[in-house]
Amino acid sequence: MKIYKKSVLLFPFLFLFGLGCNSCLGVESSPEKVDSRVPTSCLQDMPQPEAQKLDVLFVIDDSSSMAANQAEVRRQLRVFMDELRKGGGIDQSMHVGVISTSVYAFPSRISRDDEYCGIKPFFGEHDCPEGGKLLPLADNPLNIQQQNSRILRSDQANFMSNFERRINRGTGGSPQETPFEAVRIALLSEEVAQKPLSEGGNKGFLRDGARLLIVVLTDEDDCSERGPPKMKVSEGTEDECHSRKGELTPVEDYFELFKEGLADREVIWTVIAPVSTLNKEAVDFRDGTGIIRNTDCPTSRGSGLRHRRMAELFDPTLQNLHSICLDSYYEPLLDIAKMANVPQYIDLKSIHDKSLVQIRLTRENGAQQICTLHNRGIVFWQEGSGEQADRIYLSEECPRYASDQKVEVTLLCVS
């Protein structure tokens, strides 16, 4: 009884405190104030997190030595996708596209019968007609339905089977592997990236507000050059991509192009390339047949110096770099998926007052953690515009995990 009486004495004080409270406890204004945005009912619909948008671009080496490597990626593709779909309690929306490393049609030996580029190029032309374009090209350029199918969507029927067929690219491509140039054409060029799908371009693959995951698969070093090709590449021991590598477009130039051209999104660059299986080193050596390989990578067809440098520019820890010479790509593809499956932000629409938002994360074991601006669980708030929702970045003290069961958004309210 004594405890009850003491509590009763506090009620008038709390009531008066509530009437005079303005900007208390992080709330901007009392709900009775004119133009107040504080909800007066806790029963209103709470805002729901927007689906996470991720655009995934695979860059597949389709030269003559890549059959087994493509088959191994295809074998582990479901492991990759299962991990990528773990959205940490938020739905994933994915666009997936595949391009090849073939941009130039081997100018030194082209003939009417050569099939570099994966198709028979027109005699005398040095550009692969499909260079940088999402695969497959339609047999009939006027067939809009076939053109649109080049972007795979994760919610489509037969998504996985179509994805597996794209990965199994074949080995009729150019022996001059130019993944950097292929990515530039695919994502940044006016002639492909800005051209609609119905006209044979890639426009529509990259979405506003989406992150971008790039996965490069190759057993040779990058041999990218801007403009008409100067290198002469052969299937034998002599390879100008190696002997004249100083004349190639510098890796740093491509990195700056990607950094500037894709500055409106988070880019995750990953690569499975000719580097050491032991420590990811890129060092040349000639084997007993005179072919240049990478140390500790016996099935490589060259060293991965340029690939290692590009991976390092995107991620100095080199967690994004793996060796093409590993027996299995289970771990590399799993690691790549883990880098991209859960962003440390949440997209929300219809938020009127940042101070009222609480992000409730339900962990794998059922425990819950609440993140707000005031407990520093929310570290940054990026205002949306147009169709783009607000983006709420979480701090290291309130991280998201792929294993999270649920993400809920609630608002502080007065009832």
More confident residue, 155 or 413: 155
Same domain membership, residue 357 and residue 276: no
Query: Would residue 289 count as lying in a domain?
Result: yes
DSSP 92-131: EEEEEEEEESB-B--TTT--TT--TTSS-PPTT--B-TTT
pTM: 0.84
Same domain membership, residue 364 and residue 334: no
Q: Do 409 and 358 form a contact (C-beta atoms < 8 A)?
A: yes
DSSP 14: H
User: Is it the case that residue 140 has pLDDT exceeding 90?
Assistant: no
Per-residue model confidence (pLDDT) at position 3: 36
DSSP 358: E
Q: In the beta sheet, which residues pair with residue 106?
A: none
Say which residues have a Cβ less than 8 Å from residue 376's Cβ, sequence separation at least 6.
Answer: 395, 397, 398
Q: Which of 317, 340, 363 delimits the end of a domain? A: 340
Tokens of residue 310, six digits:
């590009």
Same domain membership, residue 213 and residue 171: yes
Sequence length of the chain is 415
Per-residue model confidence (pLDDT) at position 11: 41
Same domain membership, residue 318 and residue 361: no
Same domain membership, residue 257 and residue 369: no
User: Is it the case that residue 341 has pLDDT exceeding 50?
Assistant: yes
Same domain membership, residue 71 and residue 108: yes
Same domain membership, residue 194 and residue 130: yes
Q: How confident is the model at residue 165 (pLDDT cuts 50, 70, 90)?
A: confident
User: Is it the case that residue 105 has pLDDT exceeding 80?
Assistant: no
Query: What value does the mean pLDDT take over residues 45-57?
Result: 89
Per-residue model confidence (pLDDT) at position 128: 76
Show the domain range for 382. Answer: 24-50+349-411
Query: Would residue 36 count as lying in a domain?
Result: yes
Same domain membership, residue 64 and residue 42: no
User: Is it the case that residue 154 has pLDDT exceeding 70?
Assistant: yes
Q: Which segment of 68-72, 266-270, 285-289 scores lowest on mean pLDDT?
A: 285-289
More confident residue, 208 or 123: 208
Same domain membership, residue 317 and residue 269: yes
Query: Would residue 280 count as lying in a domain?
Result: yes
Query: Would residue 17 count as lying in a domain?
Result: no
Query: Would residue 12 count as lying in a domain?
Result: no
Same domain membership, residue 35 and residue 148: no
Cα 68-82-309 angle, rounded to 5 deg: 55
Domain count, the chain: 2
In tens, the pLDDT along 63-89 reads 889 999 999 999 999 999 999 999 999
